[in-house]
């Protein structure tokens, strides 16, 4: 095998979960749901580093100012009647 050729870096689902700082099952769902492109080798999934970086790049969103108006106040607190002695 030629060691000079560029082979893609393949990550495991656990490594992806660690990078994204999410639970293993969350990373697995992203892979099987097709949100992160992956390769299934036998029974195991491998994620090309490039695919993970694309997923991260697509996830960036600009902060949008909130269009919400003044929020309604919560429930009104009632005072209990105390006997004044």
Q: For residue range 7-32, list pLDDT tens digits in order.
A: 889 999 999 999 999 999 999 999 99
Is pLDDT above 70 for 2? no
CA-to-CA distance for 36 and 25, rounded, in angstroms?
Answer: 13
Of 9-23, 36-50, 71-85, the range with the lowest mean pLDDT is 71-85
Distance CA(9)–CA(53), nearest Å, equals: 12
User: What distance in Å separates the CA atoms of residue 27 and residue 36, rounded to the nearest whole number?
Assistant: 9
Share of the chain above pLDDT 90, in %: 58
| pLDDT (0 to 100) of residue 81 | 78
| 8 Å CB contact between 9 and 49 | yes
CATH 3.90.105 fits 10-58, yes or no: yes
Task: Band the pLDDT of 3: cuts 50, 70, 90.
Answer: low
């Amino acid at each position: 095998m030629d060691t000079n050729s560029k082979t893609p870096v393949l990550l495991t689902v656990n490594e992806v979960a660690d990078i994204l700082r999410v639970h293993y099952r969350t990373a697995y769902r992203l892979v099987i749901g097709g949100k992160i492109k992956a390769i299934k080798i036998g029974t195991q999934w491998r994620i090309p580093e490039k695919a993970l970086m694309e997923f991260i790049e697509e996830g960036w969103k600009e902060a949008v100012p909130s269009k919400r108006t003044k929020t309604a106040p919560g429930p009104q607190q009632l005072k209990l009647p105390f006997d004044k002695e």
